Amino acid sequence: MSSNNLDNEVTDLDNTVTNGIRSALGVGGLVSLIFGLVILIWPSKTAAVVAAIVAVYLLIAGVVNLAIGIFSRKVGTWPRIGYIALGALFLIGAIAMFSNLNAAAQALGFILGIIVGIAWIVEGVVGLTMLNDTPSKVWTITLSILSIIAGVLMILMPLFGIALLGLFLGASLVILGVIQLVRAFKYGKNAPAV
């Protein structure tokens, strides 16, 4: 094989890899941009879609647990009863969520807000307990106090907090999507010729 043919194959391979990376960046950026815009433009509908996804999961889990409880002959009577009861609970949850997706979305937001609030409070308390082990005590105290305050506010107003987090998420996805699309268009443009 001549040196010129090898150079052409390497150039073709470089172009293929570059185009693959550009495509991946472009698709990722476009998906991020679309999801971000959807969250910002239709926050309640987006929350309802998330609730619908959870409801579909509950429906599938309910059917699977019922099937295990009814048809499995390898487990004992009590585990079978447990699977049937769990399957029935999952199905009841799925039906309740499907009956009013907006209310289900609010309930999920409320629960998520409480969980995030508790997590932030715990993070702040853990930070304060590590004061002796950290070289930057001022930053650790500042972060810990802000984390505890944010956690308390999130617990007191979970739906408002989740709405703010959703707004932040949507804006972040839009910004990251635009940046990734710009990177996709510019990637490999200034590569040196082989």
Q: What is the pLDDT along the chain (194 residues), one digit of tens a residue?
A: 555 665 566 566 577 878 888 888 899 999 999 999 999 999 999 999 999 999 999 999 999 999 999 998 888 899 999 999 999 999 999 999 999 999 999 999 999 999 999 999 999 999 999 888 888 889 999 999 999 999 999 999 999 999 999 999 999 999 999 999 999 888 877 655 54
Question: 93 lies in a domain?
Answer: yes
Question: 166 lies in a domain?
Answer: no
Please give the pLDDT value at position 115. Answer: 95
Question: 57 lies in a domain?
Answer: yes
* CB contact at 8 A, 194 and 10: yes
* Residue 92 sits in the same domain as residue 57: yes
* Residue 8 sits in the same domain as residue 34: yes
Question: 168 lies in a domain?
Answer: no
Question: 128 lies in a domain?
Answer: yes
Please give the pLDDT value at position 64. Answer: 95
> Closest by alpha carbon to 179, among 32, 23, 19?
32
Q: Which domain holds residue 28?
A: 1-41+173-189
Please give the pLDDT value at position 84. Answer: 95
CA distances from 52 to 14, 61, 80, 155 (A): 44, 14, 28, 25
* Residue 122 sits in the same domain as residue 94: no
Please give the pLDDT value at position 3. Answer: 59
Domains identified in the chain, total number: 3
Question: 161 lies in a domain?
Answer: no
* Residue 130 sits in the same domain as residue 147: yes
* Residue 107 sits in the same domain as residue 140: yes
**Residue 36: CB partners within 8 Å, gap ≥ 6?**
169, 170, 171, 172, 173, 174, 175, 176, 177
* Residue 142 sits in the same domain as residue 114: yes
* CB contact at 8 A, 43 and 167: yes
Question: 84 lies in a domain?
Answer: yes
* Residue 21 sits in the same domain as residue 31: yes
* Residue 95 sits in the same domain as residue 109: no
pTM above 0.75, yes or no: no
* Residue 36 sits in the same domain as residue 2: yes
CA distances from 72 to 64, 77, 88 (A): 11, 10, 16
Question: 194 lies in a domain?
Answer: no
